[in-house]
Amino acid sequence: MKSEIIAVGSEMLTPYRQDTNSLFLTEKLNELGVTVNFKTIVGDRRKDLVNAIRGALGRTDIVLIMGGLGPTEDDLTREAAADALSLTLKRDAPLVAALHARAASWRMTMPENNLKQADVIEGATVLTNPNGSAPGQWLDVTFEGYRKILALLPGPPSECKPLFETECLPRLRAAIPQRFIAKRTLKAAMIPESQADKLLAPIYQTYPDVETTILAHNGDIQLTLLCSKNNMEEAQQRVDELASRMEEALEDWLYSSDEESLEQIVLYYLGLRQATLATAESCTGGLVAQRITGIPGSSRSFVGGAVVYSNELKTAFAGVAPELIEKHGAVSEEVARALAEGIRARTGATIGLGVTGIAGPTGGTDDKPVGLVYIAVSDAQLTDVIKRNFRGPRQRVREWTAQQALDLVRRRLM
Amino acid sequence: MKSEIIAVGSEMLTPYRQDTNSLFLTEKLNELGVTVNFKTIVGDRRKDLVNAIRGALGRTDIVLIMGGLGPTEDDLTREAAADALSLTLKRDAPLVAALHARAASWRMTMPENNLKQADVIEGATVLTNPNGSAPGQWLDVTFEGYRKILALLPGPPSECKPLFETECLPRLRAAIPQRFIAKRTLKAAMIPESQADKLLAPIYQTYPDVETTILAHNGDIQLTLLCSKNNMEEAQQRVDELASRMEEALEDWLYSSDEESLEQIVLYYLGLRQATLATAESCTGGLVAQRITGIPGSSRSFVGGAVVYSNELKTAFAGVAPELIEKHGAVSEEVARALAEGIRARTGATIGLGVTGIAGPTGGTDDKPVGLVYIAVSDAQLTDVIKRNFRGPRQRVREWTAQQALDLVRRRLM
């Protein structure tokens, strides 16, 4: 079954906003075995909307339209969908009553134009929206001789997503031939994308019935495996078999066989080992601490850290000897080691992490170019220091460095 | 003039990837006075591609297609565009020679399928791509009786953007009626979106010839003013006049009349006052430090800071008395004040910032709910503390808190 997602709203045709609901809808449709063949973004112009809806009905079987269901003059999805299908709109008495009741419960008088939201396309099923005033609509119709499913959904993600899950998913499952989809996600850190593909392609190519997607971003690799079969057991078995072969090939690059982030895994191992972590960051400027503290409950294993941008703070907070900085420079193996050992000693944490480097765009020299970083991990037994040269603009160097630092902590904990 | 942007690539129809090039192209088109009426995302299927291109030619004047120009079997944009226009593809001898020369310069033998990239649609102008092997193509054609402009562009942003700027923009300027577009961007912090609109709508509504866009995200408001006229002076005058009336209305909510970020403005004022900043963050966990250190050159004014997640570190790094924490709790006006004053004293910075709060989702009580934060700013003269209650999930509370903290520093410096 083919589908198209239409996102309605002129703001999504500016340079500043993007549709994001469609990513969620795509995931849910794929899990039903439905392909998304097109996504269209169209503004709040009735003629353009009718054109987009007719186009979508002509080329796919299932059309999901998000947005344009509110009470303002710009909200034209109901009218345009009715035009596209040559059907009429009728004001629905129970919906009118519900709108009045909703306004009354807020002690407000309802503006007349709010009643637009009670207009229902002839033959449509009303989809109750508990999170907003505009209901959705579901149509199972014939268009140019073919059966088509058309759903109108509200635009705000907090309304669109629950309405789709509770009202549309069961109807779609009933309407389309049943398929069972098994899914697995593997995650690996710091393996170059080309190396991952060289390692994995010979494996996943022997599973043509499993759709494998590789995504790489700043040192993080995500592998998604999807398999659609007539029964769940068979689909799950194929996905699990491929996953376990890929896990073996990835060796210790692999950090998760589920959807956890690298910082979640680091916190998981810290908890398991009853260990705590403290950080002393220079070039990443708090990026490592920020990723860790983004996870609920991180306070159990993360005691905190220092952002030691100036040389004075490297001394004051991590006890780095000024002579060491003078002799080797702030960006050096020795200072990274002293940062990790010093922050560990100062905070009493089980593990200390030290990061120093040149994020750029300026500050590089022939000896120490932009992108040079040293990362050290220290515990009661030993301190490891690694050196890396990352390329690209400041933010990229910082993000690769933070990813590498977290991965180094993970490897120490394993 | 109406336009449509088509992004080609099956990966953009997965739940994991989005087209982003279109935001850049939209900005450039708008600056020429061209509206983007539709954006379409289509996969690497020839039939779907032909359908999307024909649809776009039927409903707009200018069609930009990105992606699908590489050498693999999945790269079908050339073939599909030729089909849609009922034109033929011809292999271009100079392009074949250039591809051979490129491969030779890398000491590689060129695979046969690479030659696809030398196929040119009858009547098209070849757009030389200095950043990749696939050239673009430019067509000025008649479709169903109307003049249409169609451009084929490579997909990777590093190729698409420069090629569009150097090869397409001058051709578009020559092809469409000349308009002059003036633009201004104003930015404000921590003003509620509804209040901003209430304040500004009566002003911008009296300038119907200026398109005003308001975007709000986590305490940051961006106002974009665009005006298109037959001469630049008049367009600029209208935009400047509206901008200065809006600046006045926004009073000190306004932090930039250009496109700087809040952290850039904070660093600008720190430089101006020859002042330095240090931070002691609890619930934001390094988010404030990370935003500041994301700006090149921030080391001149930002000495660093501490991520004081545990109570012990609040004492060790910011000198907060343990009795103070015991008496008032870690999330309190007193502890925020002590963090700001303590980090300032420990680091010798001109200004100290202290942040403490409950980011959630757990850890809240009736007295101190999730979202409660205290932020303090301290200099040689005085320490200010503010209390806020932010709503929503952990990441939202953290981001609003970081924005509020930076804004408090800005206000102290003004």
Tell me, what CATH number does B158's domain have?
3.40.980.10
- pLDDT score for B167: 97
| Angstrom distance (rounded) from CA B381 to CA A311 | 26
CATH at A327: 3.90.950.20
| Angstrom distance (rounded) from CA B89 to CA B8 | 19
User: What tens digit of pLDDT does each residue of B16-53 get?
Assistant: 889 999 999 999 998 888 999 999 999 999 999 999 99
- pLDDT score for B256: 97
Determine the residue of chain B that is closest to A54 in CA distance. Answer: B55
Percent above pLDDT 90 for chain A: 81
Residue B393's domain comprises: 262-413
Chain B residues with CB-CB distance to A215 below 8 A = 16-17
- pLDDT score for A242: 98
CA distance A5 to chain B (A): 10
Q: Are residues A322 and A365 in the same domain?
A: yes
CA distance B121 to chain A (A): 25
Is a pLDDT exceeding 80 seen at residue A109? no
Q: Quick one: average pLDDT of A206-228? A: 90
Residue at a domain's end among B211, B234, B256? B256
Q: Quick one: average pLDDT of B369-373? A: 96
| Angstrom distance (rounded) from CA B67 to CA B52 | 14
Q: Are residues A207 and A129 in the same domain?
A: no
- pLDDT score for A107: 80
Q: Quick one: average pLDDT of A324-328? A: 97
CB contact under 8 A, A316 and B292: no
Q: Quick one: average pLDDT of B138-144? A: 96
User: What tens digit of pLDDT does each residue of A246-300 get?
Assistant: 999 999 999 999 889 999 999 999 999 999 999 999 999 999 999 999 999 999 9
User: In the Cβ-directed half-sphere of A81, how many Cα atoms lie within 13 Å?
Assistant: 32
Q: Are residues B237 and B150 in the same domain?
A: no
- pLDDT score for A217: 87
Percent above pLDDT 70 for chain B: 100
Q: Are residues B338 and B291 in the same domain?
A: yes
Instruction: Name the amino acid, one letter, at A282.
Output: S
Q: Quick one: average pLDDT of A135-160? A: 95
Q: Are residues A140 and A27 in the same domain?
A: yes
Cis omega (within 30 of 0) on the bond before B361? Answer: yes
> How many domains does one find in chain B?
3
Q: Are residues A299 and A216 in the same domain?
A: no
- pLDDT score for B106: 78
- pLDDT score for A31: 84
pLDDT band at A193 (very low <50, low <70, confident <90, very high): confident
CA distance A94 to chain B (A): 31
Q: Quick one: average pLDDT of B89-103? A: 92
- pLDDT score for A73: 82
Q: Are residues A211 and A276 in the same domain?
A: no
CA distance A93 to chain B (A): 32
Which two structure tokens, joined as six digits, stand for A317? 């907070």
* Of the partner residues A20, A213, A292, the one whose CB lies closest to the CB of residue B14: A213
- pLDDT score for A197: 84
pLDDT band at A386 (very low <50, low <70, confident <90, very high): very high
- pLDDT score for A111: 78
Q: Are residues A169 and A80 in the same domain?
A: yes
Residue at a domain's end among A175, A208, A224? A175
Percent above pLDDT 70 for chain A: 100
pLDDT band at B214 (very low <50, low <70, confident <90, very high): confident
**Strand-pair partners of A122:** none
Chain A residues with CB-CB distance to B27 below 8 A = 15
Q: Are residues B145 and B202 in the same domain?
A: no
With CA atoms as reference, report the closest residue to B16 among A198, A181, A259, A13.
A259
With CA atoms as reference, report the closest residue to A22 among B391, B19, B240, B64.
B19
* Of the partner residues A39, A346, A360, the one whose CB lies closest to the CB of residue B13: A39
Determine the residue of chain B that is closest to A20 in CA distance. Answer: B18
CB contact under 8 A, A304 and B309: yes
Is a pLDDT exceeding 80 seen at residue B156? yes
Is a pLDDT exceeding 80 seen at residue B109? no
In whole numbers, what is the pLDDT of chain A averaged over residues? 94
| Angstrom distance (rounded) from CA A165 to CA A144 | 29
Q: Are residues B266 and B357 in the same domain?
A: yes
Dihedral in degrees, nearest 10, Cα atoms A383, A389, A392, A397: 10
- pLDDT score for A259: 87
